[in-house]
Homo-oligomer: A and B are copies of this chain.
C-alpha cells in the first residue's frame, strides 16, 4: 500500500516535489473520524511522545516537590529551539533537584536560530547539553528519578524503573504493545517508540479529554497540556509551528512535533486528536497538512480559524523574497 500525497511543492505553474504520508483523526474511544493512508503500521512518534513521557513527573509529585510552574512543565514536554530562556529554564529545573547539566544524558547541539548560534559561539564557544532541544525532557527525567529514589546514572536505560514506567504508561494510553523493534533510541539517546497513528491519536484524545483515565492521570495530563497551551513559546520557540498554532488556538489546541515528519494535535473541546506522519520524514509536508486538518475539525471562530488557515500554505520564496511557489496541503 502506497500512502497518498499529503502535500505538494510548486515552482511557478508546475509541481516540483510531492510528499506522501498518512493521518488519523480519532476520538477518545479510538473511533477513526477521518484518515488517509496506512494508520495501522507502527511509525516512530519521536518527540511527539514527550507529554506522555512527562506524566510520571506530575503523577509522582516530583513536579510539585520541585516547585515547577507552567514554564518548567511546558519545557518538560518541549522540543525547544535553544533560545536563551529555554536553556535557562532547563538549568533551573536541574538546579531544583540539586543537579548540574553534566547529569544530562543528551548530547549537545547548536541552537536553531542564527542569533542564538552566534551568542553561544561568542559566549561559551560551543553548545552544552542544556542546548539540546530535549533538555527539558531530560531534566524532567532526572528530577522524577531523584524524587522516586531511583538511580540517576542510567536514567536513559530502557530497563530503568522510570523508563519502564513510561513505556507502560504509553502502552496503556494507546493500547499498542511496545515490544520488539518498535522500541528504539531517539536523537537525544532516550528510549523512543513506534505506534500506529490510530493508537497514537487515541492516546492524545484520551489525554485531552480525560475520558477513560484514572482521575490522577487525567489531572496530570490536563496540567501538562494546559501549561503547554498557556505558554506556547516554551514548547518550541520563535517562528515555530507548534508555537504559532497553539498561540492561534488560544487554549483550544495542543500541538507537538516529532522528528522525521511526525506531528500530533489535540482538540480538547471536540474530544479529538490528530496524528500525522510524512513517509519521507519532511516536516514541511505535515506543517501544511496539520493546519488544514485542524481547520476541518476545530469548532472555532474566525479570529482563531483565519490564522490557522494561513498556515495551510507556505510560500516558497527566492532569496530576494519574491514568491516563486508554495507548499500546500493535499487532503
Contacts and interface: CB of A to CB of B under 8 A. Distances in A.
A194 B114 CA distance: 33
Interface residues of A, number: 52
Interface string A10-22: 0111101111100
Contact of A184 (B12, B186, B278): B12
B261 A319 contact: no
A44 interface: yes
A318 B261 contact: no
A298 interface: no
Contacts of A182: 14
Contacts of A121: 114, 118
A44 B107 contact: no
A282 interface: yes
Interface of A: 2, 9, 11-14, 16-20, 42-44, 105-110, 114, 117-118, 121-122, 132, 181-189, 192, 194, 260-261, 278-282, 285, 318-322, 324-325
A260 B261 CA distance: 17
B17 A185 contact: no
B321 A185 contact: no
A76 to B, nearest CB: 18
